[in-house]
Structure 1
């Protein structure tokens, strides 16, 4: 299986750190509380392996997808949360403006906004550092069983065979909320991007 070198992983990890740090600052303002992030843990996996991720298998999840194209290649970026975690985030965003039993009604709009902030931050920083043109589509929201989302959305990326997964812990008010970022992209595009970032980050 294709693998990145340690140096290539470090370069991608650094840009994720930078991008997610900026996104966390914006999210902190949205929920009026500090958000702490762990250092992203990156993994390269095949599409088939995505179905067997232990942390997500058989779980109800919310997913926000942002398709992109341009100099980095054509692919999709996904942000996923466990269903329980996503509702906790929405509660914090809505504060006292809505009743607890009404939170689910605002889930799609609230999480789409968060997905837009986080995914745009990562994609924009990647493109800027790599000096690549990038075009993004409006984020799309999905909710359901993790495996169904993988089959329906990940496998729909006809030109892609590889997923770059970033595991990130979001900590809000003592709650551990784990988020997952998936980049569905050809491995050659991921490797090319990492090599460019190595030069830029020197």
Structure 2
């Protein structure tokens, strides 16, 4: 199913609503003002998504928080960002010095919580606006290269991947991460149909 400009705009708006809610929650947790923005959203095949992310990250070690969702739509949602940026983000949020041993100890828990808030914000937005029910698993934290993070989902070229770049702005510090939503093709079509129904209202 090809995605029209209106459908893509609707997807971007749903994600923007979700990250806006996530930013509000994160702001309540920390002293720093956090702004989350979505410069672009793309719908890609698994191969296209892999090529785009591989070109951007090359052989870099990445931090990822992923969870599975089921219900009206099913698949995997993940927040991926370079490990160095992840460490900087955690340092800002926790007050720990970058590079300290204590930082490593709190990094996994902090990133899992950030990922959980952002992903649930986005999925909750999709679920609420489109009036569709979804269930989520507990988020899992991983550090690996993009080959293993993306392809471990058994994604193939019938899998549609919704790739949204999320830009984190924290005071004067700007960090970039990617929100990756993976839908099996049947449920991606169901998502587009739900969006069409909402656009027609």
> RMSD in angstroms over aligned alpha carbons?
2.3
Matched, 1:162 2:160: yes
In the TM superposition, what is the alpha-carbon distance from 1:160 to its structure 2 partner?
6.3
Whether contact under 8 Å (1:3, 1:44) holds in the other structure is: no
Output the CA distance in 2 between the equivalents of 1:45 and 1:98. 35
Indicate the residue corresponding to 2:14 in structure 1. Answer: 15
After the TM superposition, which residues 1-202 of structure 1 pair with which residues of structure 2 at under 5 Å, given as runs? 2-53=1-52, 54-72=55-73, 74-95=74-95, 100-152=100-152, 154-155=153-154, 161-200=159-198
In the TM superposition, what is the alpha-carbon distance from 1:37 to its structure 2 partner?
2.6
Q: Which moved more, 1:51-60 or 1:119-128?
A: 51-60
Whether contact under 8 Å (1:159, 1:185) holds in the other structure is: no
Change (3 A) 1:55 1:99: closer
Output the CA distance in 1 between the equivalents of 2:173 and 2:2. 34
SS in 2 for 1:38: strand
Output the CA distance in 2 between the equivalents of 1:84 and 1:19. 25
Aligned length: 198
Whether contact under 8 Å (2:45, 2:158) holds in the other structure is: no
Change (3 A) 1:127 1:159: farther
Whether contact under 8 Å (1:51, 1:57) holds in the other structure is: no
Cα shift readout 1:115-142 (whole Å, capped 9, x = no counterpart)? 1111111111211122111110000010
> What is the TM-score when the length of structure 1 is the normalising length?
0.88
In the TM superposition, what is the alpha-carbon distance from 1:99 to its structure 2 partner?
8.5
Q: Unaligned stretches of 5+ in structure 1?
A: none
> What is the TM-score when the length of structure 2 is the normalising length?
0.88
Whether contact under 8 Å (2:47, 2:157) holds in the other structure is: no
Cα shift readout 1:58-108 (whole Å, capped 9, x = no counterpart)? 221100111000012x20101011111110111122115999332011111
Whether contact under 8 Å (1:69, 1:135) holds in the other structure is: yes
Q: Which moved more, 1:192-201 or 1:135-144?
A: 192-201
Q: Unaligned stretches of 5+ in structure 2?
A: none
The 4+ residue runs of structure 1 with deviation greater than 4 A are: 96-99, 157-160
Output the CA distance in 2 between the equivalents of 1:191 and 1:31. 38
